[in-house]
Chains A and B, each alone.
Chain A
Amino acid sequence: MSTLTAPRPAASIDARSRLVSAELLKVTSTKMWLGMLIGVVLFIGIGVAASILAPEQPGVTVSHLTTPQGMRNVFAQAGGAYLFAIIIGTLGMTQELRHQTLTSTLLAEPHRNKVMVAKMAAYAIIGAVYGVVGVAFGYALALALLPLKTHADIPWTALWQIAGGSILGCALFAVLGVAVGTLVRNQIAAILGVLVWVLIIESLVVSFLPKIGKWLPGGALNGILQATGTNNNEAYLPVWGASLVLIGWTAVFALAAAATTQRRDVT
């Protein structure tokens, strides 16, 4: 039988990093992150394969594999992990509400801003990891499949920039997900809302109203990756501008989420 001994103080790590580390342990101690990672691989696998193997569409010149833009578009498929980053971020907050674990979380750290910052930091890390996996797998598949269709030079410089953009984008979308989950609260509503927005509303606006679409989060990600399915020069913002737009969206949602949790009763 053990005794009620005084707990040894944990190694004196900074309070912030200890909260981030607790949030990461929450994620790795259930299996969902793995399911999401399988989703990343499947989604990017299909995206890359389709963009290389699909027959060329008559009249659409820009996405031909032989053009620099077409080649960029293939590798930009690796950024598809952002969809899973925003979903796991959303679940990261709605699951605490659904399973009522938020009470324990706030008993351990009653300062809600600290909890919110730690959660967003943890999910930024997880989003970035998804981004890295997406890039590694997407690039490997693309490099394996491209010789089947073309022997054009691989734009190596662009690949570095697309990789960095994908990882940054996934990190930001995961944080955006945490904020959306905090604001919507209901898990099913939040996930449905994210999917309908990303896959339907936003992708329609980006495709058919690019002047508006490029200012939306998903359109901004296209700008960061400099990728598009159209041949319209106005389709995306420059990398720096697109990065600022996506950071801005994330910041606005994160601040709104933090503001709503300050005094909300946890019952």
Chain B
Amino acid sequence: MSITSTPPTGGASGASRGETISVASLTKHFGTVVAVDDLSFTVEPGRVTGFLGPNGAGKTTTLRCLLGLVAPTSGTARIGGHSYDAIGHPARVVGAALEATGFHPGRSARNHLRVLARAGGIAEARADETLELVGLTDSAGRSVGGFSLGMRQRLQLAAALLGDPGVLVLDEPANGLDPEGIAWLRSFLRYLASQGRTVLISSHVLSEVEQTVDDVVIIANGRLVRACPLAELTADHSHVVVATPTPQQLADALAEHAPQARVTLTDHGLEVVDADAATVGHIAFGAQVELHELRPAASDLEQVFLSLTGGATS
């Protein structure tokens, strides 16, 4: 089985066919369990958005509400302003691959797609076209029962692409892919977004998607934690690393002249949050503190993610 290592080019069906996904005050109770709690966010076309949160945060429930599979307790989840069942020919507008979506083990990959194409009003020739897109042409006639997890993920992706949709909703699409497959998926999703499509991918590991996504929507315990461009998340949690033989002296000076700054002592100096390198340097100069190093640094995004979602402790 070969993987197409570069995104397909040419013959693209055009940009700006993506629709905005809007989730508004979405709440879903399963019995006494609150799976999604007053969740609101939007997902824009032309960008890859990462829908992030620990396992059990409510990601899949939110996506299932969006796709009409689960009825919200209250609130709405719409695509282009329509609920899923109000979209005419939804398979041509939205392509979705959800966790816990199965295959009949005795049905071939091609026939699985032919069934979906037929039901969705899509030409059955798309079955072979999408199998080629995801690199499964050689396995088209094989029963899915013998497929690896990675092959099943690709088949899910092929199913999502059947209708050449402007909106893609993919639940944990990188699960089970090898590094080569993840790299391929990354460039493929970026390519789809560059065509103006809306691409929403969920993951419980930020590092898995941080090179793929433009925007992040982070949830925990069913509630929104943060929705912003990835770059903003990085910038907000940047800090200044300082190496100095007299860290306590600098810390005192910072407390006096830049009280908003939060200071952490380290082995060789200190780390400063909420003050930039110029401010720290100026205060050090004024206090006559000897500096060996002064540099801005981005936080480890995974740590940011864990602190935002409380995953480090729970």
Interface residues of A (CB under 8 A from B): 1-10, 15, 18-19, 21-22, 25-26, 29-32, 95, 99-101, 103-111, 263, 265-267
Contacts and interface: CB of A to CB of B under 8 A. Distances in A.
Interface size class of B (residues with CB under 8 A): 35 or more
B11 A110 contact: no
B114 interface: yes
B278 interface: no
Contacts of A26: 104, 107, 115
B43 interface: no
B124 interface: yes
Interface stretch (B88-96, B218-226, B230-238, B256-264): B88-96
Contacts, number: 131
A103 B163 contact: no
A108 B120 contact: yes
B107 to A, nearest CB: 5
B310 interface: no
Contact of B90 (A10, A95, A107, A266): A107
Given A7-B92, A30-B104, A265-B71, A25 B118 contact: yes
A4 B13 CA distance: 7
A267 B100 contact: yes
Contact of B84 (A21, A25, A105, A110): A110
Given A103-B101, A107-B69, 17 more contacts: A4-B13, A9-B121, A10-B122, A22-B115, A25-B118, A26-B107, A29-B108, A30-B107, A31-B106, A95-B104, A99-B102, A99-B105, A103-B100, A106-B69, A107-B94, A266-B69, A267-B70
B107 A1 contact: no
Contacts of A106: 68-69
Contacts of A263: 71
B284 interface: no
Interface in B191-207: 192, 195
A101 B122 contact: no
A109 B67 CA distance: 11
Interface stretch (B18-26, B126-134, B301-309): B126-134
A105 B98 CA distance: 12
A265 B103 CA distance: 19
Contacts of A105: 119
Interface of B: 4, 8-14, 30, 61, 64, 67-71, 84-85, 90-92, 94, 96, 98, 100-108, 111-112, 114-126, 129, 132-133, 159, 161-164, 192, 195
Contacts of B98: 103
B127 to A, nearest CB: 11
A8 B101 CA distance: 26
Contacts of A7: 92, 122-123, 126, 162-164
A258 B188 CA distance: 40
Nearest to B4: A1
Q: 5 tightest CB-CB pairs across the interface, nearest first?
A: A100-B102, A3-B11, A22-B119, A29-B111, A108-B119
A7 B161 CA distance: 10
17 contacts: A2-B8, A5-B129, A6-B13, A7-B122, A8-B123, A10-B123, A22-B118, A26-B104, A29-B107, A29-B114, A100-B102, A106-B68, A108-B116, A110-B90, A265-B30, A265-B70, A267-B61
Contact of A99 (B104, B108, B122, B132): B104
A99 B94 CA distance: 23
Contacts of A108: 90-91, 116, 119-120
A171 B53 CA distance: 49
Given A106-B69, A107-B96, A108-B91, A3 B164 contact: no
A224 B62 CA distance: 50
A6 B71 CA distance: 31
Most buried by B among A9, A25, A32, A108: A108
B123 A30 contact: no
B163 A111 contact: no
Nearest to A111: B85
A31 B106 CA distance: 7
B133 to A, nearest CB: 6
Contacts of B105: 99
Contacts of B111: 25, 29
Nearest to B85: A110
Contacts of B126: 7
Given A2-B129, A10-B122, A101 B11 contact: no
Nearest to B165: A7
Contacts of A101: 101-104
Contacts of B116: 22, 104, 107-108
Most buried by A among B64, B70, B101, B103: B101
A175 B80 CA distance: 37
A266 B61 CA distance: 10
